[in-house]
Structure 1
Amino acid sequence: MELRAAHVRHGPVEALRGVDLAAPAGTVTVVIGRNGSGRTTALRALAGTAPLTAGSVVWDGADVTRRPPHARAAAGLCFVPDRQAVFTSLGVAENLRLAAPGGDIAPALAAYPELDRLLGRRADTLSGGEQRMLAVARALLSRARVVLVDEPTQGMSPRVAARTYALLRDLDAAVVLAEQRLPPGLRTPGRPVLVHELRRGVVVFSGEAGEVGERGAP
């Protein structure tokens, strides 16, 4: 999936300014940048929740710019936003069953055993880190072809965050993450990791994870 010369406006502010951003199949793509850089808008543009004012969104060679978010989801795209990523009025088990084809939530509990004791709780009673586990677990169950996750490990302990990055790296999908900087959990050898750094709505670096310094792109 990719953005081509993408422009997005939020009122008077141009959040993306001619962004070219590729997320190839078989890779983990990380969009990094400070707050206000446009990284969240880039994921929302791929998901269809932030309409382009110019440019295009291309998926498997087809222009899907005008395809609405629900149609992209039906075609195999899963988007986990940084906020309101779960159904807070429903229980944990209900959240998981809604995301699981056939209702089998066992893979989610294998990934996050911590959720087992929370199955009877409403999602709005969970801590921030627990809600984030639930949101990522729903994405793991979705069997999507493209998985977009904005700040996947917010509120998680370092141990659970490391496990989360390993789970996302192992997904049989094109995975796109938005982060302030490249997480250490994605610097380990294995599946290819591509990085795009945004500043003020413009891509200033695109390359492999090994080219990225500890505090950001070179």
Structure 2
Amino acid sequence: MTTISLHHARVRYGPLEALHGITIAAPGPGLTILLGRNGSGRTTALRALAGTVPLSGGAVLWDGADVTRLPAYERARRGLCLVPERQAVFGSLTVRENLELAARSYDIALDAYPRLEPLLARRAGTLSGGEQRMLALSRALLARARVVLVDEPAQGMSPTVAARTYELLSELDSCVIVAEQRVPPGLHGRAALVYELCRGAVVFSGDSGEWARRAAHRTGSTPSG
């Protein structure tokens, strides 16, 4: 079992503070969703966990050990995989070359996303946005990481492929944390831990069922799934 967390984490971009001492804990195997609009701090939280932005206060804990000062490449060596929202693939390399960077055998990736197979000889930079997300997620699946961080995994995907993506992420034997603007359709009916962020602060934490009931109460609708 793996757990990674932010403990009273603060992040500053110049004079602006993007995270105001937030605490989140993501257990694994399992899925944790960071919800929030643009500017909420969800992407910054992922980057802080990955070590690509420094904390100005607080700590990053991984299985109880303080890794706040551990550089991003060392966290990657220990089994952390970050899939950013943009520039998540090597555009000048072919799809096949991108996959081979993650693993010599990539049949698992083609089983997960069959649409990639006829694109193996194409340069990744020529793919559509949804196809690039499939490729980026495929590399994450092949990495067999202990911690997988993904910013908007289903961006540009059709509803069917998005649901498939969340099915794949939910089945990983890893601590999986994704950042989304809203709960994706593929999440309904799946157990997940949810944190909602607003302007750099956590305004809700609980399981996906609690979040659905809270959201339904706010809108006056009946939760599904």
Both proteins in one fold, TM over 0.5: yes
Aligned CA distance change for structure 1 residues 134 and 216 (closer, same or farther; 3 Å) = farther
C-alpha separation in 1, matches of 2:102 and 2:214: 35
* Pair 1:64-2:63 in alignment: no
C-alpha separation in 2, matches of 1:216 and 1:172: 29
% identity of equivalent residues: 65
**Displacement, 1:149?**
0.3
The residue number in structure 2 matching 1:180 is: 181
Query: 1:206-217 maps to which residues of 2 (within 5 A)?
Result: 206-213=205-212
Q: Of 39, 42, 61, which residue of structure 2 is paired with 1:36?
A: 39
The residue number in structure 1 matching 2:13 is: 10
SS at structure 2 position matched to 1:34: coil
Count matched residues.
214
Structure 1 alignment gaps of length 5 or more: none
**Displacement, 1:215?**
8.9
The residue number in structure 1 matching 2:222 is: none
C-alpha separation in 2, matches of 1:120 and 1:127: 15
C-alpha deviations, 1:8-50, integer Å up to 9, x for none?
A: 0111211000000110112200000111000000000000001
Structure 2 alignment gaps of length 5 or more: 219-225
The amino acid of 1:130's aligned partner reads E
The residue number in structure 1 matching 2:54 is: 51
C-alpha deviations, 1:73-122, integer Å up to 9, x for none?
A: 0000000000000111111000001011xx11110000000000000000
The residue number in structure 2 matching 1:139 is: 140
C-alpha separation in 2, matches of 1:91 and 1:168: 24
C-alpha separation in 2, matches of 1:159 and 1:214: 25
Give the alignment's TM-score, normalised by structure 2. 0.92
The amino acid of 1:195's aligned partner reads V
* 8 Å Cα contact 1:181-1:215 kept in structure 2: no
* 8 Å Cα contact 2:159-2:185 kept in structure 1: no
SS at structure 2 position matched to 1:23: strand
The residue number in structure 2 matching 1:152 is: 153
The residue number in structure 1 matching 2:130 is: 129
**Displacement, 1:213?**
3.1
SS at structure 2 position matched to 1:110: helix
Q: Which runs of 4+ in 1 moved over 6 A?
A: none
SS at structure 1 position matched to 2:55: coil
Give the alignment's TM-score, normalised by structure 1. 0.95
